[in-house]
Chain A
Amino acid sequence: MDSLHVVVNGARYDLEGVDSRTTLLDLIRERLHLTGSKKGCDHGQCGACTVLVNGRRINACLSLALTHDGDAITTIEGLAGGDTLHPVEAAFLEHDGFQCGYCTPGQICSAAGMLDEARQGQPSYVTDDADHVELTDAEIRERMSGNLCRCGAYVNIVAAIRDAARPAHGS
């Protein structure tokens, strides 16, 4: 059993007795009781557990909690600023980017991280000109391929992210 210090959604947690087998996802859900992040496949294949660690999106199910000592973690519960939704959250509502909603927290966290990656100029497999990354639908689909939606709401998910990517919505 080990101690762990993390900041989750701006709140500092000093935790004792963390079992080394605990994943970041289980810590967030079972210990911190932030159940927005979902456990889908538990193998890093579906993306439902996506959270931001120091601003970068990762699969929380494949990450041991103890490796995150000192990290700042943002979950779906921490994306909005008070009553002001994050642009990706607002766009998902506007475009009906979900059906059952189970994959949605992961989709939204992943999209938020992905938009930052694109703003920083990170290329994807379908990028032609890495000096001018433009988020076409093909780019959005490729960059979001780590998030599955079993309801198949992809058309509206892509539309929501395309909308959130517009400069006026830049966060």
Chain B
Amino acid sequence: MKPFVYERARDAAQAVAALVADPDAVFLGGGTNLVDHMRLGVASPDRVVDVTRLPFDRIEQLADGRVCIGANVRNSELAAHRLIRTRYPMLSQALLAGASGQLRNMATTAGNLMQRTRCVYFQNVTTPCNKRQPGSGCSAIGGYTRYHAILGASEHCIAVHPSDMAVAMSALDARVVVLGPSGERRIPLVDFHRLPGDEPERDTVLRHGELITAVELPALPVAAHSLYRKVRDRRSFAFALVSVAAALDVRGGTIADVRIAFGGVAHKPWRATRAEEILRGTDATPEQFERAADTELAAARSQPGNAFKVKMLRNTLVAALQELAGAA
């Protein structure tokens, strides 16, 4: 590991200033991804600013029904919180579907959003990777692609975002609250992560020095009837091959409201807006669920190693919607 200066942030403004003053400085959350990357040589900051003791550790319901999740709330606490379990069950399930008990006790809300792809070529510094070393090429294209993207990829990068939590937050219309050198701004979660395009080294729209302080969830009544369904190579402690976060409100057989996002299939949590458009106002039938899935997946482009994901995702979405419709 390359030597670095460790400092503990005194307050949020000082943390932001510390990064602004040093282009090679990074924030440290739970460390579960960053410390590993520093050991692997994927990340080599010269300054590590520990923000885990900043007072962003609460889950609060605001007067207008929104829920504000502090950036330092641990994944295990968030998953267990009654507000989250009852009003946004897909989020609790997504968190519990991710990582292990130990890692969920360490990982923070902000860190979960900022974690990087588990593409094996990104994590192996001996192989070319446009995300790790822009312009060096993509080793995954033509390589091992079982865990790679089928939606929104580019000729420069076919990596996927690994988070489960962020998939649920995408479906829930969450907003990321960010403090920067010129003040605070709110970024819709669906716009927070990027598609790779020709700049795969940029995972998010955050600028250097911007610090996540919270994630806000809207009141969103439909979310109370929601689930997260994850398909993986082993039953626990594995990244998604595909996953679906879905919320459904059926009234008299007709879909009044719906939210859908996919995980494990794109460079960012994939909000399935085309499927939602088709479903809103139609009958809650298997035929309509299949039509919505096929429409959303018409743009899918697979690799030799992950062509199975298209059908797997279609079936997972239909099954998730049927489960929600059946329990309505």
Residue positions of A touching B, CB distance < 8 A: 2, 19-21, 23, 42-44, 47, 50, 56-59, 62-64, 66-67, 69, 110, 113-114, 117, 120-125, 127, 130, 141-147
Contacts and interface: CB of A to CB of B under 8 A. Distances in A.
B101 A20 contact: no
Given A44-B36, A64-B35, A122-B80, A59 B236 contact: no
27 contacts: A20-B3, A20-B6, A44-B103, A47-B102, A56-B76, A57-B101, A58-B105, A58-B106, A59-B32, A59-B102, A62-B36, A63-B31, A63-B35, A64-B31, A64-B35, A64-B48, A66-B6, A67-B8, A113-B101, A121-B80, A123-B79, A123-B92, A141-B236, A145-B100, A145-B237, A146-B102, A146-B103
Contacts, number: 102
A66 B50 CA distance: 10
B79 A44 contact: no
A62 B6 contact: no
A2 B102 CA distance: 27
B202 interface: no
A130 B95 CA distance: 14
Interface-central residue, A44, A63, A121, A147, by most chain B CB under 10 Å: A44
Nearest to B79: A123
B101 A63 contact: no
A19 B50 CA distance: 15
B158 interface: no
B236 A123 contact: no
A23 B99 CA distance: 20
A130 B103 contact: no
Contacts of B237: 145-146
Contact of A43 (B8, B36, B105): B36
Interface string B85-125: 10000001100110111110110000000000000000000
A23 B6 CA distance: 13
B4 interface: yes
B163 interface: no
B25 to A, nearest CB: 13
Given A20-B5, A63-B35, A125 B236 contact: yes
Given A20-B4, A62-B35, A145-B101, 11 more contacts: A47-B100, A58-B106, A63-B35, A64-B31, A64-B50, A121-B80, A125-B236, A130-B80, A142-B236, A145-B100, A146-B103
Interface-central residue, B3, B39, B96, by most chain A CB under 10 Å: B96
A58 B85 contact: no
Contacts of A144: 101
Nearest to A47: B102
Contacts of B105: 56-58, 113
B52 interface: yes
B28 interface: yes
A121 B77 CA distance: 11
B36 A122 contact: no
